[in-house]
Amino acid sequence: MSLEAKIILEDNETIIQLNPGESLLKNLTNNNFKLESPCGGKGSCGKCKIRILQGQVIPSSQDKIYFSEDELIKGYRLACTCYPEECVIIEVEKNFSCNYEIITTNKIQKISKDNLRVNIYEVKINEEILEEINNITSYINKTLQLQLNYSLDSLEKLAFLLKDDITIIDKIYIKTMEAKVIDVSTKPIDSYGIAIDIGTTTLAISLIDMKTGNIINNYSSINPQQKYGYDVITRIQYASEDEKNLKEMSKLISSALEESINKLLSMSNIDKLLLDCITIAGNTTMIQLLLGLDSFSISLAPFTMITNQIIDLSYAEVFKTHNLKAKIFLLPSVSAYVGGDITSGIYTTDMGHKDFISILLDIGTNGEMVIGNKDKLMSASTAAGPAFEGAKIKYGVGGVKGAIEAIKIEGNKVLVKTIANEPPLGICGTGVVDIVSELLDNKIIDETGYLNEEYLNEDKEYFITNKEDKTNIGFTQKDIREVQLAKAAILAGIEVLIQSYQCSYEDIDKIYLSGGFGTKLHFEQAINIGLLPKELKEKIVPIGNSSLDGAIKFLLNKDASNELENIIRKTDYIELSLNQDFNNKFIDNMYF
């Protein structure tokens, strides 16, 4: 008899066939039900919660860790450790992972006309001029005073023009990319480029007018690889298990990017043949997986990546289709854990050209950080853990609509603000920082992080909110320990970096906070819990998606490759996992 599950999601019911050899999570994923699965189905994050309404499934050992006796009796199970042996009716909670607030960009790039990667020139030409020359490319080069090469496509267009159009025209338009003519026309020509930030969670894409530098449109979506884990290590492990998995991971991201590029072009009414260049920034693992490169060596000491060079490829090489002619640049990484997204951030802040010292900090599962000025740059990455992304926090969620992003305790009341003012679903990173800060200020936790039991409810949680129908959202002792680990790692990283750079807090002019969490973070609260140093309070500058901004800057500037190569050359990397000072400071910073 075939095994079936009836899935209830909000008001909809769907029947799916179950493959008994696969977990319920895998069965649901195969049938397009997306559950949060930060640990990639390993039973270690507690997020893939479902409820069995009918049918028997014996609780797994992981179920017993994540659910109380009462919850187990009510049928709560982790989908990734659930293997039904009879037909079941299952309730799945609304998918949180499809409506992330994604930080794109609206920053206008200052561009110099002299440095544009793509240029469009008008060249006077007619029958009389042709009588005086014996070849057309020398004439164009001489007229423009440039040494240009010509693509086959542009030579074919010139040949056609000489044959058919020359009697009716008096000028042509020449499109160049760097020193190469890539298009010729008797009518004005346009040129567009696309800049992409591949985040571990989200993809952010901007369509740019290459002639003016204006942003035409932005588009964003979820990184579909997250069904195999929210952090890079889990994804690397999955991709390295088998060549088939590696191909699947590469295909997942390349298909999502292609789909996003097509949507962005069609919603902007732009012909895809006018797309001349694409730049992609992302952490080292994201870039390697996009290219289908096995990344196992990134996951183990000595953490070796494949290349620190700019990768310059054709559209066909990256996307395995000949759909578009656009050239693609993938921005280079400093190290396995300071990737092209950070290089891009260094480039866009211009910190490597400044007299003053600044810090660039991007807080995600890893806290990546760079310090420096025009003389030298130094970088590090610390495994902060996913607490500020909502993972490993009992009621944690990403930056989705309904996530609690701000919290204030007033007497017996807890006031919350959610993203988009939707009913509360869980707590995102900024809410996590706020609640810990409030618990400290109200002396509900002490400096060791101990949560005073007299404030806890019967589930051993500090009560935050009561979602009318089902879930009490609370904060647990274990959640506080996760925050302590994360904040101690970030602050210890900053301290070691400053010490290694042989400077002090007074010498630092700015601390740039990049990324979604950094941009939305409440600084006072972050300083209060010891995530950021109080000495830098007046120097914090949130800069949004600096990875995407750097990719746009690279797209527009023909000298960008030299700049990025310079950044790679002058940026040292400190391996914090082997640094005794870091370990000592990490332990000290665990206290509040």
Comparison of 239 and 445: residue with beta carbon closer to ligand FES: 239
- Residue 588's contacts (CB-CB under 8 Å, 6 or more residues apart) are 488, 492
Q: Which positions lie near ligand FES, rule CB under 6 A?
A: 37-39, 41, 43-48, 78, 80
Question: At 63, is the secondary structure helix, strand, or coil?
Answer: helix
Beta carbon of residue 36, minimum distance to ligand FES (angstroms, whole number): 7
Comparison of 7 and 576: residue with beta carbon closer to ligand FES: 7
Comparison of 64 and 353: residue with beta carbon closer to ligand FES: 64
Beta carbon of residue 66, minimum distance to ligand FES (angstroms, whole number): 7
Token duo for residue 90: 């299952």
Beta carbon of residue 214, minimum distance to ligand FES (angstroms, whole number): 42
CA distance 550 to 364: 18
Comparison of 26 and 487: residue with beta carbon closer to ligand FES: 26
Helix, strand, coil shares of the chain, percent, nearest 5, are 40, 25, 35
- Residue 317 burial (10 A CB sphere; 0-12, 13-18, 19+): exposed
CA distance 380 to 575: 6
| Amino acid symbol at 247 | K
CA distance 467 to 425: 8
Nearest to 318 by CA among 347, 277, 349: 277
Beta carbon of residue 563, minimum distance to ligand FES (angstroms, whole number): 41
Token duo for residue 512: 């740039």
Beta carbon of residue 202, minimum distance to ligand FES (angstroms, whole number): 19
Beta carbon of residue 12, minimum distance to ligand FES (angstroms, whole number): 23
Nearest to 545 by CA among 235, 37, 232, 206: 206
CA distance 533 to 441: 18
**Helix residue ranges per DSSP H, 172-275:** 232-241, 243-267
| DSSP β-ladder status, 462-466 and 508-514 | unpaired
Beta carbon of residue 226, minimum distance to ligand FES (angstroms, whole number): 11
CA distance 407 to 427: 10
Comparison of 75 and 352: residue with beta carbon closer to ligand FES: 75
The interaxial angle of helices 546-556 and 340-349, nearest 10 deg, is 70
Token duo for residue 542: 């949130």
Beta carbon of residue 389, minimum distance to ligand FES (angstroms, whole number): 14
What are the DSSP calls for 466-487, one per residue?
Answer: E-SSSPEEEE-HHHHHHHHHHH
Name the phi and psi angles at 525, rounded to 5.
Answer: -70, -35
Beta carbon of residue 463, minimum distance to ligand FES (angstroms, whole number): 24
Comparison of 78 and 208: residue with beta carbon closer to ligand FES: 78
Comparison of 31 and 44: residue with beta carbon closer to ligand FES: 44
Comparison of 36 and 183: residue with beta carbon closer to ligand FES: 36
CA distance 357 to 340: 21
Beta carbon of residue 252, minimum distance to ligand FES (angstroms, whole number): 17
What are the DSSP calls for 276-304, one per residue?
Answer: EEEEEEE-HHHHHHHTT---HHHHSTT--
Beta carbon of residue 62, minimum distance to ligand FES (angstroms, whole number): 6
Comparison of 81 and 279: residue with beta carbon closer to ligand FES: 81
Comparison of 32 and 412: residue with beta carbon closer to ligand FES: 32
Comparison of 67 and 501: residue with beta carbon closer to ligand FES: 67
Comparison of 48 and 425: residue with beta carbon closer to ligand FES: 48
- Residue 2 burial (10 A CB sphere; 0-12, 13-18, 19+): exposed
| Amino acid symbol at 270 | I
Beta carbon of residue 23, minimum distance to ligand FES (angstroms, whole number): 8
CA 153, chain centre distance (Å) = 36
